[in-house]
């Protein structure tokens, strides 16, 4: 298979498996999505979706959020982990949204990444899922699969993002990054991986990955 044929195989397979791609994090608007994505760092979407209703019941907008203390936010979100950093980030970015953006989530990468606790991946998710701007946020699943599929060298998430954007059509980025995440969770996880269930890696996978898999068997 040529590289372009491999890319097309990925696109076609994922489209068959996941024709619909609901956003994994529960939210109602850009602000609640931003908070949910921030909370998801080193946590699971399922856990975040349990905790966000508790937080959003008290504050689902920046004006109500700053009425809570950092400690109050921390107590609510403690189950998702990293609560000291995340609570400060949530309170701090809410104040900045009020002071600089009229309480609205900005629709550009520069202003989003200037917010406390908001990195490039979080900004990419918000731009993609809240505003429909083409982006390719790379999480652990995408980073792992792009390496397994020999479509990136695995050296950094920055390189993986560059490779994904170079290989896949721009108009597919917003849907495709979710499809890859769903596929990674279901068919190609980091732990408990069964190659016989992973049709994409079987077909286009990196030889070293496949040989290492069989050695472990």
The Cα–Cα gap between 58 and 52 comes to: 10
The Cα–Cα gap between 6 and 192 comes to: 25
Q: Within the chain, which residue ranges are assigned CATH 1.10.1670.10?
A: 3-20+137-216
Q: Are the C-beta atoms of residues 23 and 182 closer than 8 Å to each other?
A: no
Over range 180-184, report the average pLDDT: 98
How much is the pLDDT for 215? 81
pLDDT tens track for 7-47: 999 999 999 999 999 999 999 999 999 999 999 999 999 99
Which pTM value belongs to this model?
A: 0.93
Catalytic option among 86, 139, 163, 198: 139
Q: Within the chain, which residue ranges are assigned CATH 1.10.340.30?
A: 30-129
The Cα–Cα gap between 53 and 51 comes to: 6
Arch. (CATH architecture) of 30-129:
Orthogonal Bundle (1.10)
Domain 3-20+137-216 annotated CATH 3.30.9.40:
no
Beta strand spans in 36-179 (E): none
| Coil, helix or strand at residue 195 | helix
Catalytic option among 121, 162, 163, 212: 121
pLDDT tens track for 199-211: 999 999 999 999 8
The conformational region for residue 133 under phi > 0 = left, psi -120 to 50 = alpha, else beta, is beta
Whether residue 100 lies in the annotated active site: no
Q: Are the C-beta atoms of residues 129 and 45 closer than 8 Å to each other?
A: no
Whether residue 29 lies in the annotated active site: no
Residue 142 is classified by DSSP as: H
């Amino acid at each position: 298979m040529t590289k372009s044929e491999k890319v097309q195989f990925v696109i076609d397979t994922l489209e068959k498996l996941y024709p619909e791609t609901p956003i994994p994090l529960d939210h109602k608007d850009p602000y609640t999505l931003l908070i949910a994505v921030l909370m998801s760092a080193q946590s699971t979407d399922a856990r975040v979706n349990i905790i966000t209703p508790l937080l959003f019941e008290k504050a689902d907008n920046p004006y109500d959020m700053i009425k809570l203390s950092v400690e109050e936010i921390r107590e609510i979100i403690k189950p998702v982990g990293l609560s000291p950093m995340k609570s400060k980030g949530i309170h701090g970015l809410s104040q900045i949204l009020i002071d600089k953006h009229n309480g609205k989530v900005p629709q550009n990468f520069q202003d989003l990444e200037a917010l406390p606790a908001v990195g490039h991946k979080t900004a990419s998710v918000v731009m993609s899922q809240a505003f429909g701007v083409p982006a390719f946020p790379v999480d652990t699943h995408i980073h792992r699969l792009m390496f397994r599929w020999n479509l990136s060298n695995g050296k950094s998430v920055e390189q993986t993002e560059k490779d994904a954007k170079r290989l896949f059509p721009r108009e597919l980025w917003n849907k495709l990054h979710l499809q890859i995440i769903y596929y990674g969770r279901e068919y190609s996880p980091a732990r408990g991986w069964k190659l016989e269930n992973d049709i994409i890696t079987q077909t286009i996978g990196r030889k070293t990955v496949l040989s290492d898999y069989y050695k472990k068997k």
